[in-house]
Chain A
């Protein structure tokens, strides 16, 4: 019998189906009997704005001189009905994130950074804090199903109102803030006992569907004497229909949040398997607005995985009026900083991967309400970092706009874009690079 003991052997081969993460999840589930909960947005690979490129100027397009010729960035939100629309200096806003899911210092830092750049920040599920109002020159007040901390005085002192129907991380899901983060102040603001898991409702308690929403928006306008812009935020599920229905309901602004959008805490299965990416969501929302002849009359804000001036420029070119950032803003404040690697290791993770925000143990002092951890975040310094980051994003945006010959970033258009993949060409409805082929069109 032949001896094969010295023969070459194949190297151990890992299964693409049962990869390391999947195996660890099966073992974790088997040990605990409960689904995995985490923060952030989807982590899987998706078609993104990276799959698009700008064509730039050429023989038929004149570029603008960098540092010499102006390229404006301002945008006005809420021009349809509101007496006092929001005038933003840059088309990059801070998305809704609650006090409770974030520390008071983090909320203050977001306000400081956004205000320094002349843009807005947004409350979250849990109401408005005085610090947040004080440090945010433009503050959007979220109107959520839970109505935690909801009161008409805050409604009136807000600069805009955002009726939240859903969010990209979990279209169809309610909020989740586990007991570890329900501090005395958070509990008081939400009228809940301390330490109790807070599962916010997934539906509004007093309206269902677009016909009711129209009446609800009317009520909010009456209460605020028609001054405030009213946004409607939807998770990217059926963006064409949801945008159309939001317009029909009387929204001034529609916010569409793709599945890359983050959350404070939700089931992993929800984050990864419900909703569609930001890229096709923008296109579908713009299509609805154009068909209704409401493009630019009702402004479109896009969020979910926006990281750079390039992402902003591509979203605007596809027809958005502005974007919102959440996760990127937290990173700018100091979230997942490699300087804290030793502490992340103690939590069983590594810098860049930490997402157990619901546990309230964030060593960066951002996604926590634990007093000692919260002190670690200096709101002035963190606010400055956010300002710097927003400034860089804006300069990147202007660089790309000038390269395409635009004197205002709002003039970027789909014609400036090409897709690098068939998937992106189909989702964004721009030609595959080097061709005039748009899947589904020709």
Chain B
């Protein structure tokens, strides 16, 4: 089924009806009006759709997204873009906690700030936050990149695996096994490309890069204080 330039009003239609229509679509552009903080809106998309949500959403907006480009013209609740596989999510406002949790791929851009645990357990997603991120961001982050143009809260990258973190502002503190890494030319080039993809004009050289010290990868009694 192909539907183009369709508008759904959540005050007139049910969430189930809108999500069903989006799941059935193979392509097209869609606008959702009056989201009213609804949970699980536009989750489970599995086609190259363009979805614009005019307002604020609740938990898990665009969760497990594949292929679709979702823009939220407002703020998003907990777990926006959780377990995203591919496609893009752009949040014009702020994001609540657990932004992009466990995301495997794709790109999430937040033009405001993101709360605690942004990128928790991320597994390959790229997340770019124009403002700040809260505490415990990138906790147990396995793969992918978290880019923060503002400041990062306490315990950034705690128990991190192979994800890469870039912060332009201040870092309140680094978590266990997270350390600053050199920012080489190849890193700057890759970061510059990601910022360009995210539509953000910033100098890659102004960022610091963080990653895993790899001291907790295998249990070692001498590192007991870190556990």
Contacts and interface: CB of A to CB of B under 8 A. Distances in A.
Interface of A: 32-34, 146-147, 150-153, 155, 178-179, 190-193, 195-197, 201, 205-207, 212, 215-216, 218-219, 222-226
B166 interface: no
A206 B162 contact: no
A230 B102 CA distance: 20
16 contacts: A33-B221, A150-B102, A153-B66, A155-B64, A191-B143, A205-B139, A206-B82, A206-B98, A215-B58, A215-B60, A218-B39, A219-B39, A219-B43, A222-B15, A222-B19, A225-B20
A196 B46 contact: no
Nearest to A199: B159
Contacts of B15: 222
B123 A191 contact: yes
B64 A223 contact: yes
A142 to B, nearest CB: 14
Contacts of A179: 217-218
Given A150-B83, A222-B40, A216 B60 contact: yes
A152 B83 contact: yes
Contacts of A212: 59, 78
A147 B64 CA distance: 12
A32 B102 CA distance: 35
B51 interface: no
B44 A223 contact: yes
Interface in B60-114: 60, 63-64, 66, 78-79, 82-83, 85, 97-98, 101-102, 104
A190 B142 CA distance: 9
A147 B39 contact: no
Given A179-B217, A219-B60, 16 more contacts: A33-B221, A34-B219, A150-B104, A151-B64, A152-B66, A191-B142, A192-B142, A193-B162, A193-B217, A205-B98, A205-B139, A206-B120, A207-B79, A212-B78, A219-B59, A222-B44
Among A150, A193, A205, the most chain B Cβ lie within 10 Å of the Cβ of: A205
Contacts of A223: 40, 43-44, 63-64
Contacts of A192: 142, 161
B117 interface: yes
A151 B44 contact: no
A196 B161 contact: yes
A151 B124 contact: no
Contact of A206 (B78, B219, B221): B78
Given A152-B46, A192-B142, A215 B121 contact: no
A369 B60 CA distance: 35
B161 A147 contact: no
Smallest CB-CB A-B distances: 5 pairs: A223-B44, A206-B79, A147-B102, A206-B98, A219-B40
A145 to B, nearest CB: 8
B40 A146 contact: no
Contacts of A195: 218
B23 interface: yes
Given A151-B85, A152-B83, A215-B59, A205 B124 contact: no
Interface of B: 15-16, 19-20, 23, 39-40, 43-44, 46, 58-60, 63-64, 66, 78-79, 82-83, 85, 97-98, 101-102, 104, 117, 120-121, 123-124, 139-140, 142-143, 161-162, 217-219, 221
| Secondary structure call for the B interface | loop
Contacts of B39: 215, 218-219
Contact of A205 (B40, B102, B162): B102
A191 B85 contact: no
A179 B220 CA distance: 12
A218 B58 CA distance: 12
Nearest to B216: A197
A125 to B, nearest CB: 13
A269 to B, nearest CB: 15
A196 B218 contact: yes
Contacts of B82: 205-206
A412 B101 CA distance: 45
A224 B44 contact: yes
A201 B141 CA distance: 11
Contacts of B43: 219, 222-223
A65 to B, nearest CB: 50
Nearest to B23: A225
Contacts of A226: 16
A147 B44 contact: no
B49 to A, nearest CB: 15
Among B43, B58, B66, B117, the most chain A Cβ lie within 10 Å of the Cβ of: B43
Contacts of A207: 59, 78-79
A218 B23 CA distance: 16
A224 B59 CA distance: 17
A216 B140 CA distance: 21
Nearest to B121: A205
Among A215, A222, A225, A226, the most chain B Cβ lie within 10 Å of the Cβ of: A222
Contacts of B83: 147, 150-152
Among A195, A206, A226, the most chain B Cβ lie within 10 Å of the Cβ of: A206
Contacts of A150: 83, 102, 104
Among A32, A147, A219, A226, the most chain B Cβ lie within 10 Å of the Cβ of: A219
